[in-house]
Amino acid sequence: MKKSKENFFEKVYKVVALIPYGKVTTYGHIAEVCGIKSAARTVGWAINNPPSELNLPCHRVVNRFGALTGRMHFGDPFLMESLLREEGIEFDENNCVILKKHLWIPAENKGVRKHKNTGKN
């Protein structure tokens, strides 16, 4: 029996699980390392309601400007920011994460394998 290929959501979950404490990454960086650079929105769909048993740090995923665009999916619009601040993550005057200081880029880190786009999710 052939081993089944991971679907795109499974790839996303593996990357999100690796985001270090005190760091954030973007939907786009996750999409790129998962093999479909243009799939940032799909990354958002994946982490909107991941399997609870994975216990993923989805609060560490922000948009390309550091804005907390996913905050409404946490049940409390202030929870995402609160969790990030508890990790020491700092925000600028526009309430965006200071990416220069806190950005983690999956493709540049050991242990994160870049997936090739096979045309299949």
Q: Active-site residue 58, yes or no?
A: yes
Q: Per this entry, what is the length of the chain?
A: 121
Among the listed residues 24, 47, 58, 84, the single catalytic one is 58
68-75 contacts at long range (C-beta below 8 A, 24 or more positions apart): 68/95, 68/96, 68/97, 69/44, 70/44, 73/48, 73/49
Which active-site residues does the annotation give?
58
